[in-house]
Chains A and B, each alone.
Chain A
Amino acid sequence: MGFLSQLGNVLQLDMMLFLVAGVLYGLIIGILPGLGGSIAMALLIPLTFSLTPEQAIVLLISAYGSSNFGGSLTSILINTPGDASNAATAFDGFPLAKKGKAGMAIAAAMVASALGGLIGLLVLDLMIPVARKLILAFSYPEFFMLAIFGLTIIAVVTTGSLFKGIISGLIGLMFAYIGTDPIMGSDRFTFGMDYLWDGIPLLAVIIGMFGITEAFSLFSQNKAIAHDVQVNKGGTWQGIKSVFQNFWLFLRSCFIGIYLGMIPGVGGTVASFMAYGTAVQMAKDKEKFGKGAIEGVIAVEAANDSKEGGNLLPTLAFGIPGGASMAVLIGGLMIHGLTPGPDMLTNNLDITYFLIAAAIVGKFVAMFFGLLLGPKLVFVTKIRGSIMAPAIITVSLVGAYGTDGKFGDIMVALLFGLIGYYMMKYGYSRIALIIALVLGKLMESSYHQTMATFGPEGFVTRPIALTLVVLTIASLIWHFIKKMKQKNQMKGELAA
């Protein structure tokens, strides 16, 4: 454990002050919809010019690490994810808030995030010497099968009509294909609009589908989020306990996050959705997901934070950023004369371990503030719907607009808010649409890359891909067998 040698340096007073400042700043950025870890770091970089490399690292990495904590708070409380990777937290976190268990959900999210982050960073510490082989084991066929495996979640998470769940998934796929095709790079389904060349902005869609739809529904009903239930104020301890009660789920989600985080280009959003999907697929009682299952919150948050350890691996070891946030971090490090790549594992190994130590301490400081402040925000679930609605709309539109400053993003958020409202009203699955939107592009690009690189046999001859095929088929068969059993049981009970 190389980071232990640097822990003392991080725990010094000046470093701790930078760390607390970074954590609080990251929490606020995370709470604001549309702003995530990459923006948190990008805005901080100019402030680090006059700092030493160590102070800059502490400030950047603690702000990045805590932004996810803030994002999960808004997902749980007002169904408006702070960032795309927090979207899956809302699937079960918000229904828990509606049941008056927001405090429990927040506590579970904070603890799962902190411990998930810790595990991710510990694995990073251990993996640095053997990273390369593991990263190269995953190629295009595995990505394709991973996307297909993820899409089968739709069959499981859809409540009500499965037929409408499939339609919702297909709509999501169609939206995912808007933009440029992965082979020729030519535009498709853009209908002459330049704005659509980059595809449908995921964050604006998520903000619309969850935030605006929720505001709409709050306005229509004119009731508070947790209107007909007693808000459970003492849920913090219950939330903390739930993480340990579901420890295997937590650990499994951590490893999904770490592994997907290691692979450049896959992104944290896919990691959190995959962790959610796996939690659903492997649960004994699948029906409770989407209706307020604490396991759904734990899985997503654990994967979301543990992926940071995975993300840092190619960034530090090879200088390959796993995503936008890591690219910003590389920029921040280079300003201070630190070039990510083999140099970080040889000449600057101390700095690498210092970074890991700072990230670990940052996670626990963020958990402390999250647990201190988060449950106090539960009161928002008791505010009258007609008062909450305009504030949620405002925050959502600000979030959609704030990321890139494109007016089109506001239009997309509003449009998807309306679509989401009617989907909810007429029994279509919003979750299925989002899952398909996230995984659709990965599925298509990896399909073409597999065909070009390995040919059709690539899907069934590689051991990891084959395992994923088997898992996909088995999970679907198991789901339908279980459904049939439930039906027969119900039939028997009715006959009796």
Chain B
Amino acid sequence: MIRINENNVFSIAIFLFGLLIFSATLDLRDDIALIPKIMSFCLVLFSGWQMIYDLFPTIREKININSKRQEKKEEFSLSDSAAAQEEDEIETKELVKKRYFFIGWMILFITLVYFTSMIWGILISMILYLKWISKETWKMTILYSASVALFIYLVFVVGFEIYYFM
């Protein structure tokens, strides 16, 4: 049975990254891309095994049963994954939601930087974060956001004349 959670998605992403780089090395000459070829092949191999291990709990259990030495499991088997799987299961939906909210806020931050400027991006995103994510008071929100934005403005724009911050 396949189990899908954040840990497995991360393992799949690493495997796909390895596969992408390895496939890109196939077009390159052997003599000039020898090291990337070898290393990306190793990455595909290792991350592929890790992915299978994470995706199929039955395989993991079999390996763990077959492995007689507990300490060996800790050293070279993949026992961290088992711990991570368990951690995933006990992680509440609230925490996961909170985390995605934070990722969303960071994406909003860089979107604001792209469409306005670094200083305005800092000011707006800090206000949004402090008021709606961290649930701080208005006084704290305004003071903290304005102080950080002003500090960055004074140091980088006024002090170092970095034009692209405005």
Contacts and interface: CB of A to CB of B under 8 A. Distances in A.
Most chain-A Cβ atoms within 10 A of its Cβ — which of B36, B118, B133? B36
Contacts of A174: 17-18, 21, 36, 39-40, 43
A422 B80 contact: no
Interface string A187-220: 0110100000000000000000000100010011
Interface residues of B, number: 64
A184 B32 contact: yes
Interface string A154-166: 0000001111101
Contact of B35 (A32, A164, A443): A443
B32 A401 contact: no
Nearest to B145: A390
Interface string B85-129: 001000000010011001100110110011000100010011001
Interface string B54-92: 000000000000000001100111111101100100000
Interface string A236-267: 00000000000000000000000000000000
Contacts of B17: 171, 174
A164 B39 contact: no
A411 interface: yes
A170 B39 contact: yes
A387 B71 contact: no
Contacts of B114: 407
Contact of A160 (B35, B80, B160): B80
Contact of A220 (B42, B76, B99, B152): B99
Contacts of A189: 21, 24, 36
A162 B75 contact: yes
Contacts of B78: 161, 163-164
Nearest to A448: B32
B50 A163 contact: yes
B155 interface: yes
Contacts of B107: 414
A162 B79 CA distance: 11
Contacts of B39: 170, 173-174, 177
A51 interface: no
Contact of B106 (A386, A401, A407, A414): A414
A346 to B, nearest CB: 38
Contacts of B4: none
Interface of A: 28, 32, 43, 160-164, 166-167, 170-171, 173-174, 177, 181, 183-184, 188-189, 191, 212, 216, 219-220, 386-387, 389-391, 393-394, 397-398, 401-402, 405, 407, 410-411, 414, 417-418, 422, 425-427, 443-444, 447-448, 483, 487, 490-491
22 contacts: A161-B75, A161-B78, A167-B43, A170-B39, A170-B43, A174-B17, A183-B32, A191-B24, A393-B106, A397-B109, A397-B110, A398-B118, A402-B156, A402-B162, A405-B164, A407-B113, A410-B113, A425-B7, A426-B7, A426-B84, A447-B35, A483-B75
